[in-house]
Structure 1
Amino acid sequence: VIALGLPAVFGGAIITEQVFKVNGLGQLLITSIHGNDLPMVLTLTFIFAILIVVFTLIADILYGVLDPRIRYD
């Protein structure tokens, strides 16, 4: 369930960094968008996508380990 909320965490982090003027990946993404730095925007988007896929995969594997009723065929 936590892994399914991961995209919202990334989106919330980007908004929080903008509101409180904290430097981070969200700030870098927004700055890159405003500066038309397409390679940086693509790289950060790819990193966020990979992290979401990895955490979802880990969550799916843990479901099978923690709940013996779940079987993968």
Structure 2
Amino acid sequence: GLGRLIIGAVLSRDFPVIQGGLLFLALIYLTVNLAVDLLYAAIDPRVRLE
């Protein structure tokens, strides 16, 4: 998968593939984090979005 692609790129010093893979992982992390925050605010009425 993506992890194997990034590890192979690191070993062969393929910097554009490393950058692309890490950017993709960061975007996935941010998207999941935002979704969890919004769901948590929707489920728990004590949490307010400001």
**Coordinate RMSD, CA, aligned:** 0.7
Which of 12, 18, 26 is the aligned partner of 1:49?
26
Q: Secondary structure at the match of 1:36?
A: coil
1:70 to 26, 47, 50: 47
Structure 1 CA distance for aligned equivalents of residues 45 and 21 of structure 2: 37
The alpha carbon displacement at 1:37 in A equals 0.5
- Residue ranges of structure 1 left out of the alignment (5+ in a row): 1-23
Q: Take 1:27 and 1:72, find their aligned partners in 2: how far apart are those partners? A: 38
Structure 2 segments unaligned to the other structure (5+ residues)? none
Q: 1:5-26, CA deviations, whole angstroms, 9 ceiling, x for partnerless residues?
A: xxxxxxxxxxxxxxxxxxx111
The runs of 4+ residues in structure 1 deviating greater than 3 Å are none
Describe the superposition over 1:15-57 as per-residue Cα deviations: whole angstroms up to 9, x where unpaired.
xxxxxxxxx1111111101111100000000000000000000
Q: How many residues align?
A: 50
Q: d(CA) in 1 for partners of 2:39 and 2:12?
A: 41
Percent same amino acid at aligned positions? 32
The AA in structure 2 aligned to 1:45 is L
Q: TM-score, normalised by structure 2?
A: 0.92
